[in-house]
Amino acid sequence: MLIRKQFAFEAAHVLPFHAGKCSRLHGHSYRLDVSVAGALQSGGPAAGMVIDFDELARTVRSAIIDKLDHTHLNDTIENPTSENIVVWIWRRLAPELPGLTELTLWETANACAVLRADDPLLA
């Protein structure tokens, strides 16, 4: 079973190697989709769930949203392209979320970077 939850954060960045306007300071309203796969739990308060959505939200907010929201991403991530940001997010979430399967980081309404557990970048 696969579950997915969306999160949002606002952040600014500069792409230092970009030849166009993205080499100047600008910001985005990012949307992050977090997908977790696993078996349904058979007992306890999360019975019938892969993971409780509230637990998922607490983990993502603590590990990611609280660290990136309303920040200058270059202070945290060197060359903060969508691709580099989503790798940074994965490396922080994976130890906290067994079954993390896919992250989709939307930089705009029609542009995103997708990272899956089997991606060679994570090897």
Which residues are catalytic, by number? 22, 70, 107
The amino acid that residue 30 corresponds to is Y
**Distance, C-alpha 111 to centroid of its chain:** 14
SS3 state of residue 86: helix
Report strand pairing: 100-108 vs 71-72. Answer: unpaired
Q: Which two tokens stand for residue 30?
A: 């990012």
Lookup: tokens for 38: 């696993």
